[in-house]
Amino acid sequence: MSINFSIPISIALLGIFISDGTETVFKKLLVGEYKWHNVSSIRERLAQLGKDSDAGYENFRIAQMALVLTSTLMALSLNLTGLISTSLAFLLAILSGLLAIFITDRNLSRRCQRRKVAIEGEFPAIVEMLTLAVGAGESTATAFKRIATRANGYLALEIQKVVEAIESGVAFAVALDEMSKRLNSEAVRRFSDSIIISSARGTSLVETLVHASNESRNLERVRLMTAAGKSEITMMIPIVFLVLPISILFALFPSLSNLNLFAN
């Protein structure tokens, strides 16, 4: 396609979007893109980031489509300037659009993973604070409210949501269970289940919290040991593939030079 045909087609497409006052075309494209990917998976990951509303999901999808449109326009501009052919521009637009969707999806997963690691790192300190507050004679709801107002971090924000849900009339067990489902953390899930079961059966909550505190410290220790082991393996990569071959070359170079002299 020559530039004489590319410019009118581009202007026509731009005119369609401008003249679409009811945003019918844009909405159809948006709905089609919604159905293209797994909606429930994205909503679950957005809920882990605290963006469980419809507005958070729509903002993510709009940002995703904006990247796709930007990559498509870049490919079209390269075609209009004559740097690449039409078929190559079409292929580049498809590949860049798929790459934009993949990158945004992977970025969302990495953000969820980083937040989960941060919450599990804050978890032992929060449990110890809760143990001290309950051991001093405060109720569980009051102890949660104290932590929500005094502590900082992702887990403190989630506890603040639990306190707000309790104050709005939601049962404590239901609010705590929703928090554990939203965070998708095994440690927080076990902690929530132990508090709910202890409250329902009337057992000593202090002993349950002390056990949860010790367990959280052990899990944090195991996580740090695992991360240290992975770091050791990562540090071995430049030694094995860079330092060791160079050392061998330095050791063998004189012998190889002498062998070449004898051969000559």
Q: Residue 170 is encoded by which pair of tokens?
A: 């939601």
Is the pLDDT assigned to residue 239 strictly greater than 60? yes
CA distances from 199 to 108, 144, 167, 203, 213 (A): 36, 14, 18, 7, 17
Q: What is the pLDDT of residues 43-88, one digit of tens each?
A: 778 777 777 777 777 788 888 888 888 888 887 887 777 777 777 7
Contact between 26 and 66 under an 8 Å Cβ cutoff? The reply is no
Handedness of CA 40, 44, 47, 49 (dihedral sign): negative
Which pLDDT score is estimated for 18? 57
Measured between alpha carbons, how far is 60 from 34 in angstroms, rounded to an integer? 11
Q: Residue 260 is encoded by which pair of tokens?
A: 């070449």
Q: Residue 92 is encoded by which pair of tokens?
A: 């580049």
CA distances from 246 to 233, 234, 238 (A): 20, 19, 11
Contact between 111 and 37 under an 8 Å Cβ cutoff? The reply is no
Q: Which of 32-36, 131-135, 153-157, 259-263 has the lowest mean pLDDT?
A: 32-36
Q: Residue 101 is encoded by which pair of tokens?
A: 């969707």
Measured between alpha carbons, how far is 63 from 227 in angstroms, rounded to an integer? 33
* Nearest CA among 64, 66, 42 for reference residue 54: 42
Which pLDDT score is estimated for 126? 84
Residue 159, CB half-sphere, CA atoms under 13 Å: how many?
27
CA distances from 86 to 4, 13, 130, 187 (A): 13, 16, 64, 54
Measured between alpha carbons, how far is 116 from 60 in angstroms, rounded to an integer? 20
Q: What is the pLDDT of residues 29-38, one digit of tens each?
A: 555 455 455 5
Measured between alpha carbons, how far is 48 from 43 in angstroms, rounded to an integer? 9
Is the pLDDT assigned to residue 137 strictly greater than 50? yes
Percent of the chain exceeding pLDDT 90 equals: 0
